[in-house]
Amino acid sequence: MRINYRRGTRINRMATIVLLTVLSFQLTAGSQPLAQDNTTTKTGATALVALAPGDTLRFTAFNPAPAGEVGEPISMQMRLYNEQGRVIANSAEVAIPPGEFRTISFKRDELPLAGEPGTGILQVRTAPLWRFTSSIPVKVTTSLEVLPAPGGTTSGSFKFFLNVETLP
């Protein structure tokens, strides 16, 4: 009986040592990226916006080409948050070549929340996400607009403009 007990203990110790040895090594195929990715992601300036039924939120960005240089493309993605800070909408990521504009739009009626009782007005916080590889500062000019539905209850359009300096 003692011989079997000792043999079982040895097998358990050996199995533990082998298992710890295997787990301590990292597999290079799964733990390292195939190529070096030097992309930086930065959250831009946020804004608080009220959207009435029928309104459209439009965010436009311009990637300036540096004077005398080719410049680099940047990417943007827009997130909308509700009053509790939960993400309620994500746009697709959009590439902006140097010297060009790109726009992202959200329709109020396509957002999954009811809004205020009686009016349907929804309070949201916007947050643009910028992705870039440039090591020099890039100034991105942006505009945020709330456009009313044609013939809607809100009148005019609300606009404001800001510069976002995207630093590496």
pLDDT tens digit sequence for 103-112: 999 999 999 8
Q: Give the mean pLDDT of 59-66.
A: 85
User: Looking at residues 164-168, what average pLDDT do you find?
Assistant: 53
The domains located in the chain, with CATH, are: 2-31 (no CATH), 40-166 (2.60.290)
Decide if pLDDT at 161 tops 90: no
Judged by average pLDDT, the poorest of 19-33, 50-64, 147-161 is 19-33
Over the stretch 119-141, which tens digit does the pLDDT of each residue have? 889 999 999 998 888 667 778 88
Q: What pLDDT is stored for residue 25 in this prediction?
A: 37
Task: Give the model's confidence band at 6: pLDDT under 50 very low, under 70 low, under 90 confident, else very high.
Answer: low
Q: What is the pLDDT of residue 122?
A: 92
Distance, CA of 122 to chain centre: 21
**HEC string of the chain?**
CHHHHHHHHHHHHHHHHHHHHHHHCCCHHHHCCCCCCCCEEEECCCEEEEECCCCEEEEEEEECCCCCCCCCCEEEEEEEECCCCCEEEECCCEEECCCEEEEEEEEHHHCCCCCCCCCCCEEEEEEEEEEECCCCCEEEEEEEEEECCCCCCCCCCEEEEEEEEECC
Average pLDDT taken over every residue of the chain: 75
How far, in Å, CA of 103 to CA of 63, rounded? 12
127-154 exposure pattern, b = at least 16 Cβ within 10 A, e = fewer = bbbbbbebeeebebebebbbbbeeeeeb
